[in-house]
């Protein structure tokens, strides 16, 4: 069988399990067996463990057993803020700031109307697209972004 000339990797996954030491040990064994069977390496330093309401001592034990850093919410995942509860405006502000900064960078340039429309259509509207697929944005925030794009054009 020919060997691939590039590195293969699995997509990101979420694994939910009971926080008992037995389950944690089984999960660690499963991950080791997966690596052995697939030939793929799990990057534990890039992984994250989120734990619910358990004692700090138990969290420490689980973190040591897994070899994965323990994190808490909010955190970023694939460039999108992951948090507990409802979508709050302050979690979406970084995306809006990115759109505003991009438009401000282009504002002083001598661009034709068609060039401005194309930049807004392809680049600016693509910035929040992943966030749109994860979260419901309020109409207020969308109107603000539309106003900025309209003013740019």
User: Among 29, 48, 72, where does a domain finish?
Assistant: 72
What's this model's pTM, rounded to 2 decimal places? 0.58
Tokens of 96: 């809006």
Give the Cα separation of 118 and 114 in Å (integer). Answer: 6
Let me know whether 92 and 34 are in one domain: no
pLDDT at position 6 is 47
pLDDT level of residue 13 (50, 70, 90 thresholds)? confident
Q: Name the percent of the chain lying above pLDDT 70.
A: 92
Give the Cα separation of 31 and 66 in Å (integer). Answer: 10
Q: Which residues contact 44 (CB under 8 A, 6 or more apart)?
A: 66, 67, 68
Write out pLDDT tens, residues 43-84: 888 888 888 888 889 988 998 889 888 888 888 777 777 878
Query: Which is more confident, 2 or 14?
Result: 14
Domain that holds residue 145: 85-152
Across 12-125, where does the E strand assignment appear?
49-50, 70-71, 75-77, 80-82
């Amino acid at each position: 069988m020919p060997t691939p000339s590039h590195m293969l990797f699995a997509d990101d996954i979420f694994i939910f399990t009971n926080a008992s030491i037995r389950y944690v040990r089984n999960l660690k064994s499963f991950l080791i067996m997966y690596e052995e069977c697939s030939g793929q390496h799990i990057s534990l330093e890039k992984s994250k463990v989120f734990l619910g309401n358990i004692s700090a001592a138990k969290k420490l034990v689980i973190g040591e057993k897994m070899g994965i850093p323990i994190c808490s919410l909010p955190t970023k995942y694939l460039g999108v803020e992951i948090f507990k509860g409802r979508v709050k405006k302050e979690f979406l502000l970084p995306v809006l700031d990115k759109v505003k900064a991009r438009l401000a960078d282009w504002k002083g340039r001598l661009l034709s109307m068609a060039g401005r429309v194309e930049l807004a259509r392809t680049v600016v509207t693509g910035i929040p697209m992943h966030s749109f697929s994860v979260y419901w944005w309020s109409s207020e925030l969308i109107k603000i972004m539309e106003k900025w794009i309209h003013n740019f054009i």
